[in-house]
Amino acid sequence: MGDDDREPLSAVGISALTDGPAFTRRDLLRSAAAVGVGAGVGLLLPGVAEAKSKFPIGAATRSKSKPVSITMWHSMTEANLQTLQKLTDQFHRSQKNVRVNLVGQNSYTDTLTAYTTALSAGTSKLPDVLQWETSLIQLLIDSQSVVPVGSAVAADHYSLGDYVPSMLNYFRVNGTLWAMPFNISSQVLYYDQNVLVKAGLDPTKPPTTLNGLRTAAKKIVSSGAAKYGMSLKGAPATFELFMSLGNKTVVNHSNGRKGRATAVTFDDALGRSIFSWWSGMLNDKLAQETAPTGTGVYDNLLAIGSGIAPMTLDTSAALGTILVVLTQKQYANVKLGVGPIPSPGSKPAKSGGVFIGGAGLYIVKKSAAHQDAAWQFIKFLTSPDQQATWAVGTGYVPVRKASLSNPTLSKAWNSVPGYRVPYQQLLSSPVNPACAGYVSGAANQIDTAIQNALAALANGTPAKQALNEAASAANSAIRSYNQRV
């Protein structure tokens, strides 16, 4: 489950008692980013283009010392971890050649720190399979420590036809498929149908555009159905999704996919209109701002429960948790609705689409037998039936189209139609650079710049100024990263 599109559920209510003076989450992020760029990337020598070398298909099966024992680093907890363990047990029963040891690293941020530190000691201490947050893809590519999944696909003559195209699209950089989509989510519109009815709106037709959202919010506020129309959580991914829904890139060189990005492109007409909309919603008291990180990450969802603001945008990965909370009856007045994320402007997106959140599975550059073993496990985890089990157990979107004909999945989805929404919007997203989402080694800093700008809007900074400041902060982060690579 995620606290935004790019984080597993973590750090709920860790109090001052344990966070202590020793280390805060922000310190961790900062040091992790520094470690990632400084050590993970800078210290390693440039290598040979991996896609051209032949992937060692069958090396694990041919290995003399069987079973080949591999390690997977993951960031899953609770129900997600239990489901991952279940799938791993299934994998062990299905064959005798490979044994997988799951190692939890708590969160994507912690995985980044642990991986980049281990990288400083060469590849021997690295895992064989790595679950790695989507937005950090370029950092990992630049570390030269992973083998593109695409080379395994080619050597294995493995068909990708059944995978959801927009998901593969995310992991393609310069034509190379670097990872397999595994735990995938997307942002959706959550709303309380009861409040919409009270405001005279049709609860089966939630707003599909930003203008529509504004109109609906106005009706909710003026009818007195709720204090605010919606909560706006200042998550950078939300802004970036609006850009891709408008079919515009966030950084240049086709979102960093046809060459290393050298500057941002989000400070264009569309970016300005999104920022104006955002600032207008807050200034006109149609929306309340909620925090994208820290202890307030669920405030937007809790505001639906408490009736303060009946609509919000958040990751689909939160749906399972929301449903659990709703069954506990403390929010008996809420009738949850789930709609696609609205697109900018006044007409639903025609050419644009959404990119994924979550994480992909990478094969780390280890011995031939280990690479092949890693590939076998990844293939297994992303098979249709396993992805159906995964989706039902976790709330993530299945990465295989064939998963939908799995009876367990269709039963679960029929009882909660909201689960179809993120899948449908990812399935209908076109395969092009704008809708792929952006890649840059400075992604963490670019996201921070956008996040700061969205927070500035809440403090009354004019939209144009906030956007310009975000662009120049992001540009200098990109320059600084590119100089170091």
Partner 1 sequence: MPATEASARRTRHLRLVVRYAVLIGAAAIVLFPIYITIVDALLTPQQITHRPPTLFPTDPQWNTFVTAFRQGSLGIYLRNSAIVTFAVVALEVTTSVLAAYAFVFLKFPARKILFFACLATLMVPGEATLIPNYQTINGLGLLNTFPSLILPFVASGIGIFLFRQAFLGFPPELRDAAQLDGCGHLKFLFRIVAPINRSVIAAFALFAFLSAWNQYLWPLVVTQTDSVRTVQIGLRQLSGANFSQFNVVFAGTILAALPIAILLLLFQRQLVAGLTAGAVKG
Contacts with partner 1, residue ranges (CB under 8 A): 1, 8-18, 20-23, 27-28, 31, 34-35, 39, 71, 77-79, 103-107, 110, 113-114, 117-118, 120-121, 125, 298, 302, 305-306, 318, 321-322, 324-325, 328-330
Looking at the Cβ atoms of 49 and 324, the one nearer to partner 1 is 324
- Residue number with CB closer to partner 1 (359 or 474): 359
Q: How far apart are CA 191 and CA 79, in angstroms?
A: 25
In whole angstroms, how close is the CB of 231 to partner 1 at the nearest point?
16
* The one-letter amino acid at 418: G
CB of 141 vs partner 1, minimal distance in Å: 21
Cis omega (within 30 of 0) on the bond before 67? Answer: yes
Residues 6 or more apart whose CB falls under 8 angstroms from that of 52 comprise: none
**Hunting for tokens 């992973």 — which residue is that?**
146
State phi, psi for 195 to the nearest 5 degrees. Answer: -70, -40
Nearer to partner 1, 72 or 173 (CB): 72
Residue 112 vs 388, nearer CB to partner 1: 112
Phi and psi at 301, nearest 5°, equal: -75, -40
Nearer to partner 1, 231 or 255 (CB): 231
Instruction: Return the number of the residue (18 or 204) whose C-beta is nearest partner 1.
Output: 18
To partner 1, the closest distance from the beta carbon of 470 in angstroms equals 27
Q: In the complex, what is the shortest distance from the CB of residue 166 to partner 1, in angstroms, rounded to a whole number?
A: 27
Give the DSSP H or E segment for 24. Answer: none
SS3 236: helix
Using alpha carbons, select from 357, 361, 415 the residue that is nearest to residue 84: 361
Q: Residue 325 is encoded by which pair of tokens?
A: 């909370």
| CB of residue 315 to partner 1, shortest distance in Å | 12
Q: Which is nearer to partner 1, 330 or 333 (CB)?
A: 330
Give dist(CA 86, CA 80) in Å, integer: 10
Q: For 253-320, give the DSSP string.
A: HHHHTSS---SB--SSHHHHHHHHHHHHHHHTTSEEEE-SSGGGTTHHHHHHHHTS--EEEEEGGGHH
Percent of residues in the chain assigned helix, strand, coil, to nearest 5: 50, 15, 35
Q: Which of 265, 278, 269, 277 is nearest to 235 (CA)?
A: 278
CB-nearer residue toward partner 1: 39 or 59 = 39
Q: Please, is 303 exposed, middle or buried when counting C-beta atoms within 10 Å of its C-beta (0-12, 13-18, 19+)?
A: buried
Nearer to partner 1, 125 or 258 (CB): 125
| Shortest distance in whole angstroms from residue 225 CB to partner 1 | 19
At residue 440, what is the residue type?
S
SS (H, E, C) 107-159: CHHHHHHHHHHHHCCCHHHCCCEEEEEHHHHHHHHHCCCEECHHHHHHHHCCC
Task: Give 259 or 294: the residue with its C-beta nearer to partner 1.
Answer: 294
The distance of closest approach from Cβ of residue 81 to partner 1 in the complex, given in angstroms and rounded to an integer, is: 9
Q: Determine how many CB atoms are found less than 10 A away from the CB of residue 321.
A: 18
